[in-house]
Amino acid sequence: MACRVKVVGQVERVDGASLSYAEFVRRFMASNRPVVLTGLTSSWRACKDWTLSGPGDRRRPNLGFFTENFPSPLVQVADCSSRDFTDQKRLEMSMQEFIDHWVRGAHRGSSDGSLLYLKDWHFVKEYPDYIAYTTPTFFVDDWLNMYLDSHPIHRDSDIANHKNEINCSDYRFVYMGGKGTWTPLHADVFRSYSWSANVCGRKQWLFLPPSQSHCIFDRNMRSSVYNLHDDVSEKQFPEFSKTEWLECIQEQNEIIFVPSGWYHQVHNLEDTISINHNWFNAYNLHWVWNLLYEDYKVAKEYIEDIRDICDDFEGLCQRNLAANTGMNFYDFFVFIVRFALANVIELYHLQQPEVATLSTETVHHLVYNLTSIRNVASKMATTEAFTTENHLCSISEDNRSAFSNIKQILEEESFRRLSMTLSKAYDHIDRGQRSVKSSTSYLKGCSSVICLKSDCNVVDHITSLVDEVCGPEDLVRLIDSALSDG
């Protein structure tokens, strides 16, 4: 495909089977660098069920399998030939209608000139009993999807409408599209990481480092380049000619890791099926906060002229932020409070004598997590949203109760599910790093898989540190106490 940008390098390719978790973190996740990983998908059911033999060792989509086995009522489809503001026009249709359109286009070209690309299909949520794939170890520290499996992203009734909750149910997707379908230039939702595995097909990726992201915007930093393969107006985007890109041709069975803040555009060079997750954790939590804060400033500036006549100006800013970005400060604060508590639980158990055989890497991991949350909470404490007057009037009771009463949170079934999932993930990572079998027990009395006591007193321990979190300052104090206690 002809390219109008200056490509200065290729994305590194690494054998995932020989890469340790610690090395992946150091070389790619912590340093925020893209990488293509090979050798990780051979056992996936999706690679067998969803594909048919093609030329040579190539595979092609088994479209009939989808219509027979996954008759989703409606799927979301992008019309790649039609722009809608900064994205492609979205349609809803049945799986059968989408497959029929794809097959017709393959035989004689699309009758209406449209190229349809199935995107953002919440496959795991819709078909939880069909285990299409196993998330590679490198990506299991996924706070976003852990949280959404047990918690709503929004708690305010005026934000948490039914359609919103479906769209935010998780960030694990299947994409399906014929040759020529594509995704416009963008950075990922929440400035999350993402990983994308090609079950079959080939993709071209073009990546722009975050240090150059300002170059794809206009002078007002409002409008950005839509398609790298169009003629980009030098007058509208005067810095664009300075950009330098990395390229990757992703083959079938390869997984690409997309770091935070890297703008990218993707083209399907063949008929392609891919599995995609968006996710974040302690290593890119600051990216999420920075995006929220920048989008908050824009939302606030937009309605600044009605501040004096608005009964709850800050509350309106937060509602607009949630609508535009996908969450607001209060949603995010509930999120980090609960992950702080889950990490404190794990750290507490690792410090007990009977668990002393576990690796020091896990302890360092937990300390890093808590330090990252603390840094974000410290920044949140300085915002107008958490000043005393706004704290009292703008935070709903649903949000307040979701982060304030520590004992109540620790006893909630939703929190226990979150904490157990985090604990299992870190146990899995730890066992992989040490190449030993787990010897831990799974006791119902505690939400940590490494707890070896039937009379665990972790709840009393945590509430002795801080029994109530009224705002970011209290969360900072809780984390400082937990870290100094160890």
Q: Is the pLDDT of residue 67 over 70?
A: yes
Task: Give mean pLDDT, residues 442-453.
Answer: 64
Pairing of strands 245-250, 203-208: antiparallel
- Predicted pLDDT of residue 436: 45
- Predicted pLDDT of residue 274: 98
Task: Give mean pLDDT, residues 332-350.
Answer: 95
Q: 83 near 185, Cβ under 8 Å?
A: no
Tokens 């909630």 identify what position? 412
- Predicted pLDDT of residue 44: 98
How do residues 15-30 score in pLDDT, each as one tens digit? 999 999 999 999 999 9
Tokens 């083959």 identify what position? 251
- Distance set, CA 40 to CA 55, 118, 134, 448, 485 (Å): 22, 24, 9, 28, 40
For the chain, percent of residues with pLDDT exceeding 90: 78
Q: Is the pLDDT of residue 345 over 80?
A: yes
Q: Write down the mean pLDDT value for the chain.
A: 91
How do residues 302-337 score in pLDDT, each as one tens digit? 999 999 999 889 999 999 999 999 999 999 999 999
- Predicted pLDDT of residue 157: 74
364 sits in which H/E element = helix 360-380
Task: Give mean pLDDT, residues 122-138.
Answer: 97
Q: How far apart are CA 316 and CA 302, in angstroms?
A: 11
- Predicted pLDDT of residue 452: 63
Confidence class for position 108, pLDDT limits 50, 70, 90: low
How do residues 164-220 score in pLDDT, each as one tens digit? 444 568 999 999 999 999 999 999 999 999 999 999 999 999 999 999 999 999 999
Least trusted range by pLDDT, from 162-171, 237-246, 380-389: 162-171
Q: Is the pLDDT of residue 79 over 50?
A: yes
- Predicted pLDDT of residue 411: 92
- Predicted pLDDT of residue 101: 95
pTM (global) more than 0.85: yes
Residue-range domains of the chain with CATH: 2-279 (2.60.120.650), 284-485 (no CATH)
- Predicted pLDDT of residue 445: 55
